[in-house]
């Protein structure tokens, strides 16, 4: 875990990224993706070279770009520009209260990252569509106060019955909207990856996801920043 000196964070939303940018004192890189929405920051922290990229804003709505399309592009540009030895996909997510998750908990990925909303019941394509992209073993970081879970990705905020069925079938514990896309690009380039996700909503709470997300975003992003700082301090030690 401590052999990485060039690390890139791939994050969807500016609200998720800003506390990390501030904590690590990163400076915006105006040469990153000129003419496209994606934005990048760089900096040094002790013996580490750091970069951070976000999906940026949709030029039509002015809102953060979310989901797998923007994350795929952001990750590809990040690898091409910064050549990281390690990618960390950080952000917010939903979790199951029945598994012991609480609002504000910070989870690390384990085993693999999967797509939960791809249903292709044809031999071979079924596995390919789900992905099963491997993640770096970061169990050594649990002692810093993290929980661990299998991260699943879809392109919708809600969770209809067929998505919930798939999530449970593949052992998913953390639900979000970018990680599997980031992991797919990372695997193509053979760059190790893991995820750090702070819980904004409990998928089994009975409360509409968007309401919990809005209510708990500030708490979750604050805890995410603290978690990322712990990880960076560990890697730099």
* C-alpha 208, offset from chain centre: 22
CA distance 194 to 90: 9
- Per-residue tokens: 153: 């990705």
16 in catalytic set: yes
**Cα–Cα dist 24/208, whole Å:** 34
Catalytic residue among 64, 163, 201, 212: 201
Residue 145's nearest CA partner among 95, 194, 198 is 198
Q: Which of 16, 105, 163, 173 is catalytic?
A: 16
Following DSSP, what letter does each residue of 68-120 receive, concatenated?
HHHHHHHHHHHHHHH--SEEEEEEEEEE-GGGT--TT-EEEEEEEEEESS---
Which residues are identified as catalytic?
16, 201
């Amino acid at each position: 875990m401590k052999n990485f000196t060039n690390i890139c964070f791939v994050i969807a939303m500016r609200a998720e990224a800003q506390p990390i940018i501030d904590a690590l004192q990163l400076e915006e890189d105006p040469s990153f993706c000129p003419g496209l929405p994606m934005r990048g920051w760089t900096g040094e922290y002790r013996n580490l070279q750091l970069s951070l990229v976000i999906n940026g804003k949709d030029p039509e709505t002015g809102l953060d770009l979310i989901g797998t399309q923007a994350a795929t592009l952001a990750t590809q540009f990040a690898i091409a520009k910064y050549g990281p030895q390690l990618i960390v996909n950080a952000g917010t997510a939903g979790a199951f209260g029945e598994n012991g998750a609480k609002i504000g908990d910070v989870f690390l990925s384990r085993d693999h990252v999967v797509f939960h909303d791809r249903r292709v019941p044809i031999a071979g394509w079924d596995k390919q569509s789900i992905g099963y992209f491997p993640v770096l073993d970061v169990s050594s970081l649990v002692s810093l106060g993290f929980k661990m879970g299998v991260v699943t990705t879809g392109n919708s905020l809600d969770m209809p019955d067929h998505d919930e069925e798939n999530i449970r079938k593949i052992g998913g514990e953390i639900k979000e909207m970018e990680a599997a896309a980031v992991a797919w690009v990372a695997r193509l380039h053979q760059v190790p990856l893991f995820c750090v996700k702070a819980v904004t909503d409990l998928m089994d709470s009975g409360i509409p996801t968007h309401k919990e997300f809005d209510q708990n975003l500030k708490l979750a992003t604050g805890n995410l920043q603290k978690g990322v700082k712990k990880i960076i301090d560990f890697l730099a030690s």
